[in-house]
């Protein structure tokens, strides 16, 4: 480079690959907000497309503007293809708009971590695409790789701000690792060794500065940050609580209310349906050997309206609380919205509404509020036809340890020939409501495994917590998800049409998860009829014959079983939708694989066309032709002697057929005249001469060599090394 020449920025062909890797690594901290498979796998096609285009065009020494435009086209194309695959059939613009809307709605209404629904996956793909484009502009367009830390830190920053708990220190390491990869690739480490040019020094100093910044970031994250006294996280959001809080055991309060000698009012309510309703406070999904227990709650203050798709009938309840403290807001299940003074959060798993403000349990004293809910309202026929639901946490199907094997045997006898989960649930409910069991508050206030064993096999006497725990246990034995709801029975109707609920109305009942019906409440306690149509103590419905658990006998009870209904067939998938999407996805993946396999051949074809194109200046045409000659030798595995065109052609001629050697000599002579002769040379025939040389080389090569030259041309990788090391052999120093 002459003293007056401008400084050049040589970008390494692997820079785009490192940018794609860095973007992928920078997305990993989103694992605190989104289920990990939403971006670990789904973002790869977009990133691979950008990296492949950037690599190929860098090898071809294409202008950076052209490279950026080609990468933008590839990213947008891959993004649209993936979006339409996620959205399914329909108008493309409407499908992508709806996909975006669904993703935004999920972010607004779901607490983290978000489930990997198509809308959320689509937003992750958008984020990955934007980050890739911005990084390409910064690193390869504006030649400012040091600023890459800003977009790379975006995902980590979002997670750190949104999640209430501090992120682990190691979550910043993928971001810094990606940043270092970009700096090393753009700085030309390894390729610039030994160069003393100003551009090499500039690249080296810039990379060293970036490495120093990254090192400072690591030290700050690991050493300094833990020593800084910080205030509460998210001080702008201290009016509520979206994290776990300490809650007392609701079964203790239940036992206290039922056994208190003086009955006191708890609340009055009016329902829009003018019908009595159960008011639930909490649901206990964890049934252990020690009894029903609360699960850790991940509370949220937003998105209750879309937290459940529970089917049923709409009801609005106006409630006036007495001067009673409570950690929970009594509400009909399943609540969709509520209006109450104070600060409240809800558990997305159980839809329990929990006091979360500074006043906590005192918020309910004298509180007037309203709740809008969807009451499960299946018919008996729908329950009988329903199977067991799926897709829930395994805790709702776990059988408590310490349960007697006789309870399992008893359950099998109770359900008898029942076919569906709904039939089995009704059989268990009818058995517990039969005259073999009595309601008594004198039983021990426990739902442990020992208490269940004694209740079902010996005493057969207890109150709501025992009946509920027994039905939950027997349902889980039959593979039906079940949990215990705690709250209040409907209470007594007053003259003004409202209902009064007292402490003695405290109650527990089972909820079973049935396919297509969601969480369905049952009432096995014989002292309560319950509002559901399928609770009728006078009609045991599909109950199976009642066995005697303590004394095995061959006697058959006289109960007449109800004929088993034929369950409704499960709708089959529409082959025009699911199958079509699978076929289109398979075709797309296959096309992508074929494109990746063909990329080297396509890149080599484009490179040859650019070098031998017409209309060039003679000297540039000669340089392009000589580069193509050297590339041809390398593609076919022939040795290249190097040096200026004349001596190189004579040294290489021994490997060629006579026609090829003659063509090589003519090409070398034309190239030398174009470079060194004052009169120049006619370079118009160079393209045809190089083509003749390539044909001769191909005919003399083995089939294996021809195959490798076509699909895996090694000269491309030689071009990558030359782009970092300097000008090609035989080229002028200022070219």
Residue spans of the domains in the chain: they are 15-230, 250-375, 579-725
* DSSP three-state, residue 433: coil
Question: Are the C-beta atoms of 322 and 213 separated by less than 8 Å?
Answer: no
Burial classification of residue 659, based on how many CB atoms lie within 10 Å of its CB (0-12 exposed, 13-18 middle, 19 or more buried): middle
What are 70's two structure tokens?
Answer: 């080609």
pLDDT in the model for residue 37: 57
What are 432's two structure tokens?
Answer: 């517990």
pLDDT in the model for residue 310: 83
What are 632's two structure tokens?
Answer: 């041809």
pLDDT in the model for residue 574: 38
Taken as a whole, the chain contains a residue count of: 735
Task: Give the distance, in angstroms, between the CA of residue 100 and the centroid of all CA atoms in the same chain.
Answer: 15
pLDDT in the model for residue 584: 43
> Could you read off the pLDDT of 645-665 as tens digits, one per residue?
888 888 888 888 888 888 888
Q: Which residues contact 353 (CB under 8 A, 6 or more apart)?
A: 328, 329, 331, 335, 338, 344, 345, 346
pLDDT in the model for residue 583: 41
Dihedral, 63, 64, 69, 74 alpha carbons, nearest 10: 100
Extract the residue ranges of the chain whose pLDDT is less than 70: 1-12, 35-39, 88-90, 105-116, 162-167, 169, 187-248, 357, 529-599, 677-683, 717-735
Distance in angstroms (rounded) separating the CA atoms of residues 679 and 575: 73
Distance in angstroms (rounded) separating the CA atoms of residues 24 and 623: 39
Q: pTM for the whole thing?
A: 0.48
Task: Please choose, from the candidates 398, 308, 374, the residue with its C-alpha nearest in 3D space to the C-alpha of residue 347.
Answer: 308
Distance in angstroms (rounded) separating the CA atoms of residues 211 and 263: 72
pLDDT in the model for residue 431: 95
Q: Which residues contact 135 (CB under 8 A, 6 or more apart)?
A: 19, 22, 23, 148, 151, 152, 182
Distance in angstroms (rounded) separating the CA atoms of residues 521 and 507: 13
Burial classification of residue 407, based on how many CB atoms lie within 10 Å of its CB (0-12 exposed, 13-18 middle, 19 or more buried): buried
pLDDT in the model for residue 605: 78
């Amino acid at each position: 480079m002459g003293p007056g020449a401008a400084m050049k920025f040589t970008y390494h062909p692997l820079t785009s690959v490192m940018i794609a890797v860095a973007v992928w690594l920078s997305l990993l901290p989103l694992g605190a907000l989104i289920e990990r498979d939403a971006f670990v796998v789904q973002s790869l096609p977009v990133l691979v497309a950008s990296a492949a285009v950037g690599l190929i065009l860098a090898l071809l020494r294409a202008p950076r503007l052209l490279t950026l435009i080609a990468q933008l086209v590839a990213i947008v194309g891959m993004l649209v293809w993936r979006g339409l695959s996620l959205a399914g059939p329909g108008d493309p613009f409407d499908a992508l708009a709806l996909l975006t809307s669904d993703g935004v709605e999920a972010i607004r209404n779901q607490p983290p971590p978000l489930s990997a629904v198509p809308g959320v996956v689509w937003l992750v793909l958008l984020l990955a695409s934007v980050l890739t484009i911005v990084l390409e502009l910064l690193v390869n367009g504006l030649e400012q790789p040091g600023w890459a830390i800003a977009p790379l830190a975006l995902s980590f920053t979002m997670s750190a701000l949104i999640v209430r708990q501090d992120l682990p220190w190691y979550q910043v390491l993928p971001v810094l690792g990606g940043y270092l990869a970009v700096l090393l690739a753009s700085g030309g480490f390894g390729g610039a060794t030994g160069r003393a040019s100003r551009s090499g020094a500039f690249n080296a100093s810039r990379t060293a500065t970036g490495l120093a910044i990254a090192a400072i970031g690591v030290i700050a994250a690991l050493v300094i940050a833990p020593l800084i006294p910080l205030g509460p996280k998210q001080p702008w959001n201290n009016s509520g609580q979206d994290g776990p809080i300490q809650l007392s055991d609701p079964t203790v309060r239940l036992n206290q209310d039922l056994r208190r000698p003086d009955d006191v009012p708890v609340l009055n309510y009016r329902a829009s349906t003018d019908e009595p309703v159960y008011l639930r406070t909490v649901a206990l999904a964890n049934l252990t050997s020690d009894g029903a227990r609360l699960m850790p709650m991940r509370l949220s203050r937003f998105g209750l309206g879309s937290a459940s798709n529970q089917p049923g009938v709409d009801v609005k309840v106006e409630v006036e609380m007495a001067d009673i403290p409570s950690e929970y807001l009594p509400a009909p299940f399943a609540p969709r919205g509520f209006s109450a003074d104070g600060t409240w959060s809800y558990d997305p798993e159980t839809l329990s509404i929990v006091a979360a403000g500074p006043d906590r349990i005192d918020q309910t004293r004298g509180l007037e509020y309203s709740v809008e809910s969807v009451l499960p309202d299946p018919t008996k026929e729908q329950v009988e036809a329903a199977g067991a639901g799926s897709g829930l946490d395994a805790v709702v199907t776990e059988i408590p340890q310490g349960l007697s094997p006789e309870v399992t045997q008893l359950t099998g006898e109770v359900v008898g020939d029942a076919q569906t989960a709904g039939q089995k649930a009704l059989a268990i409910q009818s058995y517990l409501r039969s005259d073999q069991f009595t309601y008594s508050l004198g039983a021990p206030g426990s739902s442990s495994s020992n208490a269940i064993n004694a209740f079902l096999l010996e005493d057969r006497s207890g109150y709501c917590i025992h009946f509920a725990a027994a039905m939950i246990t027997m349902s889980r034995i039959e593979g039906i998800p079940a949990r215990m709801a705690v709250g209040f029975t409907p209470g007594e109707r007053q003259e003004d049409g409202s209902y009064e609920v007292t402490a003695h109305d405290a109650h527990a009942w089972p909820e079973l998860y049935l396919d297509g019906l969601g969480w369905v409440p049952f009432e096995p306690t014989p002292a309560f009829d319950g509002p559901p149509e399928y609770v009728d103590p006078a009609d045991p419905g599909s109950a199976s014959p009642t066995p005697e658990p303590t004394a095995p006998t061959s006697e058959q009870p006289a109960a007449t079983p109800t004929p088993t209904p034929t369950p409704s067939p499960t709708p089959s998938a529409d082959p025009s939708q699911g199958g079509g999407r699978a076929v289109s996805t398979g075709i797309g993946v296959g096309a992508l694989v074929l494109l990746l396999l063909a990329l080297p051949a396509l890149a080599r074809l484009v490179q040859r066309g650019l070098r031998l194109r017409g209309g060039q200046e003679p000297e540039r045409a000669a340089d392009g032709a000589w580069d193509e000659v050297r590339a041809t030798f390398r593609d076919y595995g022939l040795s290249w002697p190097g040096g200026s065109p004349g001596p190189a052609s004579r040294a290489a001629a021994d490997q060629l057929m006579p026609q090829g050697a003659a063509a090589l000599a003519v090409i070398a002579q034309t190239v030398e005249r174009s470079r060194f002769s004052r009169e120049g040379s006619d370079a118009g025939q160079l393209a045809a001469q190089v083509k003749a040389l390539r044909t001769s080389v191909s005919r003399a090569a083995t089939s294996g060599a021809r195959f490798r030259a076509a699909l895996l041309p090694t000269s491309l990788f030689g071009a990558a090394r030359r782009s970092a090391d300097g000008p090609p052999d035989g080229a002028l120093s200022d070219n």
